[in-house]
Amino acid sequence: MQNLIDIQNINWSAILIPLGTFTAAFLILLLARGILFRRLHRWAEGTDTHLDDFVIDSIRTPFLLWSLMISLMAAMWVAPLSERYTALSSKVLLVLLILSMTLAAARIAGAVVRHYGSTSSGAVPGTSLTQNIVSMAVASIGLLILLNSLGITITPILTAMGVGGLAVALALQDTLANLFAGFYVSLSGQVKLGDYIRLDTGQEGTIEDIGWRAVSIRALQNNMIIVPNAKLAQAILTNFHLPNSPMSLLIPVGVSYDSDPERIEQILLEEAREAVGKVEGLLGDPEPMVRFIPGFGESSLDFTLIVRVAQFTDQFPVQHELRKRIFKRFRAEGIEIPFPIRTLYIRKEGGEADKPLSAGG
């Protein structure tokens, strides 16, 4: 009976009106959010840059928090709350506002670094290291603003962080060495994402990412090579994209001693020039060249065809196509590609030499 009386004495309007206001406001904002983002995506598809797509994706989750906050504020306006609970609710909403704004700003900053780092040759590359550092810097500023808004003095915290940072630095020397080496590798401009490099230890591949601890290198076999930043900073490496991506490709060709060197040079140049524009990665500027080098081999006249390819990995399909074209042309012209020949002298027991025997291979 007492329970029935308590239920009857409850002010249902003080509960149902704020709850209904919150629900209605939240549903309306969710509907508006869906319409807004559909239109924003439609607008972004018509632009030339992808930065607007990154920004739109970055504010999608924070916008949901903002909708929740606005709904809570609407419910508070119609709820008969005391000053104590109103002040507490205001602080909670302030915390949510700063956190959501910080989250959005950090994601947008990371997206901007990723976009401009991948589309321009500026000082800040779009690696995961630089993205994380920029996002963490924005998040740290947001955290300090939050503490200051709550009336918490940040000066002692900064002092404690400085002392604690020294202890952490002593304990994590190897980790910090890789971190600072990652900064050096990223900002030096000697290597960047997409470059094909070869280390003095023999590993080679395309740089996929530079993280806070290690560099990810994708080998031609599609395997991932993980090299600590400190090791890469100390290594002797060849960057096949510096000073620029195009590089010379040397293709050795050997023909019979009965061949005319002038005719061989002409055929090689004709085949190389004809392949320009038909073989992907083969460049026509500068013009292909032929050099009578190494020259007089043990069983052949040795030439070197020198062509230009767009980048390091293009040398493999270009060699494949040019060798097929040259072999087909030599066969049509009747030019012999000799086998290696060795002449053997067989000496009899009496010391007299027999006639020499020639053997291939």
Residue 110 CB-density burial (10 A; 0-12 exposed, 13-18 middle, 19+ buried) = buried
Mean pLDDT along residues 102-118: 74
pLDDT band per the 50, 70, 90 thresholds, residue 4: very low
Residue 153: pLDDT over 80: no
- Band (pLDDT 50/70/90 cuts) for residue 325 is very high
Identity of the highest mean pLDDT range in 49-53, 89-93, 103-107: 103-107
Q: What is the mean pLDDT of residues 294-323?
A: 91
Q: Which two tokens stand for residue 212?
A: 């806070």
Q: Which residue has the higher pLDDT, 331 or 84?
A: 331
Higher pLDDT, 183 or 279: 279
Query: Could you count the other beta carbons within 10 Å of the beta carbon of residue 281?
Result: 19
Highest mean predicted confidence (pLDDT) among 18-27, 74-83, 169-178 = 18-27
Q: Where are the domains of the chain?
A: 13-152, 175-239, 247-341
d(CA 143, CA 141): 5
Q: pLDDT value at position 34? A: 83
Q: What is the mean pLDDT of residues 85-89?
A: 71
Is residue 10 predicted with pLDDT exceeding 70?
Answer: no
Question: What is the pLDDT, as a whole number, of residue 1?
Answer: 43
| Average pLDDT of the residues of the chain | 79
The rounded distance, in Å, linking the Cα atoms of 247 and 306 is: 10
If one compares 51 and 74, the residue with the highest pLDDT of the two is 74
Backbone Cα Rg of the chain: 36
Architecture of the domain made up of 247-341:
2-Layer Sandwich (3.30)
Mean pLDDT of the 30-55 span: 77
* CATH entry, 175-239, from 3.40.640.10, 2.30.30.60, 3.40.50.300, 1.10.510.10: 2.30.30.60
**Mean pLDDT across 256-264:** 91
Beta strands in the chain (DSSP E): 196-199, 204-210, 214-218, 224-228, 237-239, 247-255, 282-283, 289-296, 301-309, 341-344, 357-360
Is it the case that residue 263 has pLDDT exceeding 90? yes
Which H helix or E strand runs over 81? none
The pLDDT score that the predictor gives to residue 277 is: 87
Residue 323 banded pLDDT, cuts 50, 70, 90: very high
The structure's pTM equals 0.61
**Collapsed DSSP state (helix, strand, coil) of residue 132:** helix
Least confident span in 8-17, 195-204, 334-343: 8-17
Asked if 291 contacts 306 with a C-beta cutoff of 8 angstroms, the reply is: yes
- Helices 12-45 + 60-78 axis angle, to 10: 150
Sign of CA dihedral 275, 276, 277, 282: positive
Estimate the crossing angle of helix 155-171 against helix 173-188, to 10 degrees: 100
Is-contact 197 204, C-beta < 8 A? yes
Q: Over 70: is that where the pLDDT of 267 sits?
A: yes
Going by pLDDT thresholds of 50, 70 and 90, the confidence category of residue 93 is confident
Question: How far apart are alpha carbons 138 and 18 in whole angstroms?
Answer: 35
**pLDDT recorded at residue 5:** 46
pLDDT greater than 90 at residue 329: yes
Q: Check residue 2 and give its pLDDT.
A: 45
Per-residue confidence (pLDDT) for residue 165, from 0 to 100: 61
Convert 204-234 to b/e letters by CB count within 10 Å (16 or more is b). bbbbbebbbbbbbbeeeeeeebebbbbebbe
CA distance 231 to 233: 5
Torsional sign, CA 220, 225, 229, 230: negative
